[in-house]
Copies of this chain bind each other. A is one copy, B any other.
Amino acid sequence: MKPFFKTQTLEQVHGLARQVEALESESVPLASLLGRTLARDFTAPHDLPGFARSTMDGYSVRGRDTFGAGEGSPGYLTLSGEVTMGEPPGFALEAGCCARIGTGGMLPAGADAVVMVEHTRIVDERTIEVARSVAPGAHVLGPTDDAEKGQVLLEAGRRLRPQDVGLLASLGASGAGVVSRPRVGIISTGDEVVPVSGSPRPGQVRDVNTHTLASQVTAAGAVPVPLGLVPDEEHAIREKVATSLDQCDLTLLSGGSSMGVRDLTVGVFLSFPGSQLLVHGVSVAPGKPFIWVRKDAHALLGLPGQVASCMIAFHLFAEPILERMLGREARSFTRFVRRRAVLTRNVPGVQGRVAYQRVRVREREEGLEAEPVLGKSGLLRTLTRADGLVTVPLGCEGLDEGSVVTVLLFP
């Protein structure tokens, strides 16, 4: 039943993840666009601002009428009108004239610059003294300075930030087409595991993975669908997986940590017609027993049951697949910040695998310091006490105390 399968590298898993396709798009209103991925290029439907607009409070002028004006030799212009905010001026500016204008006001025809109010003085009802010359275009936004009709302003695949949402709003879009958020079915297994609400008897522990994974899925921009806890039993697991295949885009099955259950997971995944085993074991620590079975566009993933290993395996393997489903690049640790730090102790490598060591980070005068968090790797506390991870490469016996390393800081 279980095919012979070679342990793969993380790079090979990324290579497979690159073949995952983005989900369909959906239309989402402005208020919910933050962090979503644009599905199609956004093109300006009209010029923006669409008219010449003042960026200062002052007087709209013809720039050439101010040439030669300065502190010692002011110029004088005839005040011929005032621009009302939000309305086109009902007049054109004649030579030698100026018109009062506020920030954001529309320049009258004939005007091409604005003199700031700070550089002017009211002489009388009809005369303004100008103590500064301005070039045509000064303190003015041109009609197409923010956007030109037909121009591509935001490209497909962009993760929308507040300013991008603002740009859509400025051009009258009530929302945008974005890549749908993947629905992620979360299943915990283990005969020794009880729900959080339960009181574990000796030998039992509570279901932690459902909650850490749901939080990780949310942080990754996907939608967690917790499907509950099942015993290590083929029929029960298969039923849950079938539900997830039906309702979700990706399944995270954690657990199966006890003897023989790993094979059970592969067996259940492959029992669905058309399913294909892509990965069974990766040369990383923790995360080695990772399983990936493809069933149509759905990714069935088996993660280790130990809570700390399960969390790291999520970042290593599930994140790049989710990123692709979201229309982005297949990368691990996408939301982790990378910082250089000096190691305070030796960190051993793991034979034949890339190892991820939890570290605590401290700010020092000289820069960051990374202190390995000791304790058995199954312990959740090694992660709650840690600020990030340090990678020990494949084939490296270990990292020396005092060496400079890159820390992946938890988001």
Contact = CB atoms under 8 A, between A and B. Distances in A.
Interface in A246-279: 257-259
Contact of A169 (B173, B199, B207, B216): B207
A258 to B, nearest CB: 3
A219 B259 CA distance: 44
Nearest to A173: B196
A219 B162 contact: yes
A327 interface: no
A165 B215 contact: yes
B88 A202 contact: yes
A305 B104 CA distance: 9
Given A86-B191, A214-B31, A376-B145, A166 B208 contact: yes
Contact of A384 (B86, B154, B213): B154
Interface string A43-74: 00000011101010100000000000000000
A87 B203 contact: yes
A386 to B, nearest CB: 8
A293 B134 CA distance: 36
A172 B104 contact: no
A364 to B, nearest CB: 16
A10 B226 CA distance: 45
Contacts of A259: 57, 102-103, 117
B33 A192 contact: no
A149 to B, nearest CB: 14
A166 B376 contact: no
Interface string A374-386: 0111111101100
Given A88-B202, A169-B196, A145 B379 contact: yes
A208 B171 CA distance: 9
Interface in A138-197: 141, 145-147, 153-154, 161-174, 190-193, 196-197
A105 interface: yes
A323 interface: no
A409 B153 CA distance: 20
A307 interface: yes
A199 B170 contact: no
A236 interface: no
Nearest to A375: B145
A123 B204 CA distance: 31
B104 A165 contact: no
Contacts of A146: 379-381
A213 to B, nearest CB: 8
A161 B410 contact: yes
A207 B104 CA distance: 12
Nearest to A212: B166
A211 B243 CA distance: 38
Contacts of A214: 31
27 contacts: A30-B196, A31-B211, A33-B215, A49-B205, A55-B376, A84-B191, A85-B192, A87-B201, A102-B257, A102-B259, A103-B257, A103-B305, A104-B190, A104-B192, A104-B257, A104-B305, A105-B192, A145-B376, A146-B379, A146-B381, A162-B212, A162-B216, A163-B384, A164-B384, A165-B215, A169-B208, A170-B208
Closest 7 CB pairs of A and B: A102-B258, A86-B192, A162-B215, A166-B212, A106-B203, A163-B383, A85-B191
